[in-house]
Chain A
């Protein structure tokens, strides 16, 4: 079964609910979603997001415009989910640099890389660094992704400035995070899910503290419109914030 998805916010919003049961892939243009019957084993992120985080991340990678042979950067890479997806996109002639503040997370990412049977993952390098002071030259990367990182940096404007600096002209950033919705229904649905799904599941894994801060963190975050405004102020030529999954998640796409 194939679905043709037009790039408007209404359709993107309702897209990934079926990923509860079926695996999705998103084409390079981000227009089609192909449903297959294969489903990999569940992780904590699967439980917390009811399986949808995999689709959100594939969408984020598609929106970044990363393609074969590209040099790409994954900021706040954590244990590497987005980096591994980018690795498959850029291939052995391309290069992925995964940057994170935490040596621990990078060790996990490195372990996953070494344990994987996929030889294409050899094109990923891990760097411990600060999103506010990136250790890369100007105009170097063909695409940049950031998953669930922007909300946690202390200076969003500076983080965007650094992303702009290290990005090649004409290239894009794709920033996936929780959406701070201006719609009361969406905001309360999101808070309900955090209170009744995320925190209880995380608690059973001994991670209550790591997730209890989420609600206040989202309230202090910027709305989609505000993120677009900051991107344009920093110097990006265009910025568009897409709401996905009924508006509980959002993805900022900005072009230098």
Chain B
């Protein structure tokens, strides 16, 4: 499986290019995302959803999102339905 190329601005150990993580927002709430190193995912605190990163490519299709428990660990059984979370 090919890996995405990382720019020289990538932080060591960060699964995502630094400048990319700075521009991305939650596709549903349009609020900033937070990178979670532990789960290598992007967290939307505004709606409590985490989006995975696969091979360095952030997966920000609304249905890719997973609803998070209160303790911040993503559940694996649920997925986000964009029609139910849109304002």
A106 & B57 in contact (Cβ 8 Å cutoff): yes
Task: Label chain B's interface by main secondary structure.
Answer: loop
Task: Say if the beta carbon of A127 comes within 8 Å of chain B.
Answer: yes
For B57, list chain A residues within 8 Å (CB). 103, 106-107, 110, 126-128
For B64, list chain A residues within 8 Å (CB). 128
Binary contact readout B12-28 vs A (1 if CB under 8 angstroms, 0 otherwise)? 00000101100111111
| Minimum distance in angstroms from A70 CB to a CB of chain B | 14
A128 & B58 in contact (Cβ 8 Å cutoff): yes
For B30, list chain A residues within 8 Å (CB). 137-138
A107 CA / B56 CA spacing, docked (Å): 10
Task: Say if the beta carbon of A135 comes within 8 Å of chain B.
Answer: yes
Task: Say if the beta carbon of A114 comes within 8 Å of chain B.
Answer: yes
For A35, list chain B residues within 8 Å (CB). none
Taking beta carbons and an 8 Å cutoff, which residues of B are in contact with A? Answer: 1-5, 7-8, 17, 19-20, 23-28, 30, 33, 54-62, 64, 82
The contact sample of 16 A-B pairs, CB cut-off 8 A, is A101-B61, A107-B55, A110-B2, A110-B3, A110-B57, A113-B4, A114-B2, A114-B4, A122-B5, A122-B7, A125-B19, A127-B57, A128-B57, A128-B61, A129-B60, A133-B28
**Cβ-closest 8 pairs across A and B:** A111-B2, A135-B60, A133-B27, A135-B27, A128-B59, A129-B60, A110-B4, A125-B20
Taking beta carbons and an 8 Å cutoff, which residues of A are in contact with B? Answer: 95, 97, 101, 103, 106-107, 110-111, 113-114, 121-123, 125-130, 133-138, 140
